[in-house]
Amino acid sequence: MAPARSSKISLAILGFILLTACIFACGCVNGNNGDSGNGGIGDIGDNSAGNPDNTVPEATVSSGSTVNSGSAGTAQSSAGDGTGTGADTGNNAYAGGADIAADTKVYPVLVPDAAYEGQTVRRTFTTKFENTKFTIDFDVDMALLRGARNADKSLGRKIAKESPEVQYKFYRSYFEGMENSDFFDALIKQLRYIKITERLSDEEYLEYLVNFVQQIPYNSPEGNTRFPVEVIYDGMGDCDEKSMLLMGLLEKSGYDTALLLFPKLGHAVCGIKIVPQGDVSFTTYSADDGRKYLYIEATTPYYIGLYPDAFANTDVLVIPLSDGGMPYTKYNYVAYIIDSKKKIEKRIDFFKRTLDSWYDELEDQKYKLINYKQYYSTQLEYDTAYQRYKNRVDEYNKYFEYYQKNIEVWNEIVDRPYDVEGVRRTIFNSKVNEIEY
């Protein structure tokens, strides 16, 4: 008897493409959709985007440089593959290199509130990384928090309509001052304890920091753009807020980072510098001095360098946080994962179409064999038909096994962006890329 028709791909695919769908659903690009909601750049995701395991107790603009692909596709969709057009031209995206004329605009300034000096409130965060959950406690300085709450952030309500120079100054202001520096130093001290005790390499620690921020729940505030200390206290943040938190952590850890603003898409992400070696399978975004940055999604768990299709070739404003620092060097691991994912999706599509076709063929052959008197006049005809049916069943079962193995590996890729090394190992050991068909 023929096997049952091939099953559908796991519903995990729906969660993976949610990020792309939310870009078009959120409708919160302040420069284009009025003045409602948060005044900062728009957001991706929804209130469920954060990892459920992350808990908080009560209380001149141009397009990204395109190099091959790096987008999030789906196994059964015809969506684009994230490949832009043309070669890397070293775009002229504004990156703070030009002198900024004096203006009369009021930029946020963080001044601690002396009335709360000495007071702290503890916040706890649990982050899933590789095969372990790590928990840190952090005591929020309430004088710093109240200073952040009281800062004049009203410019952010229409920041998307402002010039690149003003946007540059606005977002840079969220990192300036000794108070901000002290906040990041204190938070890094808690996070580095994980690196030391778990003996994480520099690259593993970088990925841990990315996952720490990604797993803080997503939330779009009704008020103004929050300082990083507010994101930690509130235990939530939107795209630019979480990206700035991540940028500060990476910069304090010695990495060269930038804020990447996408005005047409109403989104902001953290960028991390890379030094391309040969052909890089991602779109990179260039500062005016030639530094190249990879996309890091901060709103939800996502691989470094992976981006939705819409970000492959669109306008971007690059705002570096520092004048230098270490680059991210492990991007080839991620490139291997994403390249494997795309190949797996093509195989899954091929196997499914083939299995569906063979299933119908087997059902027809089975019907004739059961009603052999109507279709075969000799034993030889029947035996020949039976052998043909048996051979097809064997082929069907072999392809079905390939189909299931590819789905299993695909789900591992989608479900575990917090475990780059583990996913890479799974792909390699599964040998799915060696399947011939």
Residue 435 CB burial class (10 angstroms; 0-12, 13-18, ≥19): middle
Angle between helices 379-415 and 12-26 (to 10 degrees): 50
Of 329, 344, 376, at which residue does a domain stop?
A: 329
pLDDT tens column, 189-211: 999 999 999 999 998 999 999 99
Angle between helices 142-150 and 178-198 (to 10 degrees): 130
For residue 22, tell me if it sits in a domain. no
pLDDT the model gives residue 232: 97
CA distances from 41 to 230, 246, 259, 291, 407 (A): 17, 16, 11, 23, 36
Mean pLDDT over 92-115 rounds to: 69
Contact criterion met (CB below 8 Å) for 68 and 253: no
Shared domain for 372 and 322, answered yes or no, is no
Q: Is the pLDDT of residue 26 over 60?
A: no
What is 330-377 written as a DSSP string? THHHHHHHHHHHHHHHHHHHHHHHHHHHHHHHHHHHHHHHHTHHHH-S
pLDDT the model gives residue 16: 35
For residue 87, tell me if it sits in a domain. yes
Q: How far apart are CA 68 and CA 259, in angstroms?
A: 22
Shared domain for 49 and 89, answered yes or no, is yes
For residue 3, tell me if it sits in a domain. no
pLDDT the model gives residue 434: 92
Q: Does residue 43 or residue 313 have the better pLDDT? A: 313
Shared domain for 187 and 278, answered yes or no, is yes
pLDDT the model gives residue 278: 66
Model confidence at 329, pLDDT cuts 50, 70, 90, reads: confident
Contact criterion met (CB below 8 Å) for 127 and 194: no
- What pTM was estimated for this model as a whole? 0.72
What is 219-287 written as a DSSP string? ---SSSPPPHHHHHHHT-B-HHHHHHHHHHHHHHTTB-EEEEEETTTTEEEEEEEE---S--SS-BEE-
Ranges 42-46, 54-58, 78-82, 162-166, most confident: 162-166
- Domain membership of residue 286 as a residue range: 28-329
Of 284, 309, 329, at which residue does a domain stop?
A: 329
CA distances from 343 to 36, 381, 395, 399 (A): 42, 41, 21, 16
For residue 21, tell me if it sits in a domain. no
Shared domain for 356 and 428, answered yes or no, is yes
Least confident segment among 27-36, 109-118, 132-141, 289-298: 27-36
pLDDT the model gives residue 96: 46
For the chain, helix (H) and strand (E) counts, in that order, are: 11, 8
Percent of the chain at pLDDT exceeding 70:
75
pLDDT tens column, 374-430: 999 999 999 999 999 999 999 999 999 999 999 999 999 999 999 999 999 999 999
Shared domain for 191 and 65, answered yes or no, is yes
pLDDT the model gives residue 187: 97
Percent of the chain at pLDDT exceeding 90:
53
Residue 31 CB burial class (10 angstroms; 0-12, 13-18, ≥19): middle
For residue 17, tell me if it sits in a domain. no
Please, which residues have CB within 8 angstroms of residue 254's CB and are 6 or more apart in sequence? 325, 326
Strand partners, 284: 65
pLDDT tens column, 342-381: 999 999 999 999 999 999 999 999 999 999 999 999 999 9
Shared domain for 59 and 206, answered yes or no, is yes
Q: Is the pLDDT of residue 40 over 80?
A: no
For residue 164, tell me if it sits in a domain. yes
Shared domain for 173 and 251, answered yes or no, is yes
Shared domain for 258 and 291, answered yes or no, is yes
Of 329, 360, 386, at which residue does a domain stop?
A: 329
Residue 399 identity:
Y
Q: What is the mean pLDDT of the chain?
A: 79
pLDDT the model gives residue 20: 39
Half-sphere exposure of 246 (CA within 13 A, CB side): 37
Strand partners, 326: 255
Shared domain for 408 and 273, answered yes or no, is no
Helix, strand and coil percent figures for the chain, each rounded to 5: 45, 15, 40
Q: Is the pLDDT of residue 314 over 90?
A: no
For residue 20, tell me if it sits in a domain. no
Domain count, the chain: 2
Counting every residue written for the chain, the total comes to 437
Shared domain for 340 and 288, answered yes or no, is no
Shared domain for 186 and 226, answered yes or no, is yes
pLDDT the model gives residue 194: 95
pLDDT the model gives residue 199: 95
For residue 210, tell me if it sits in a domain. yes
pLDDT tens column, 245-297: 999 999 999 999 998 988 888 888 999 998 877 666 678 898 888 899 999 99
pLDDT the model gives residue 233: 97
Shared domain for 324 and 339, answered yes or no, is no
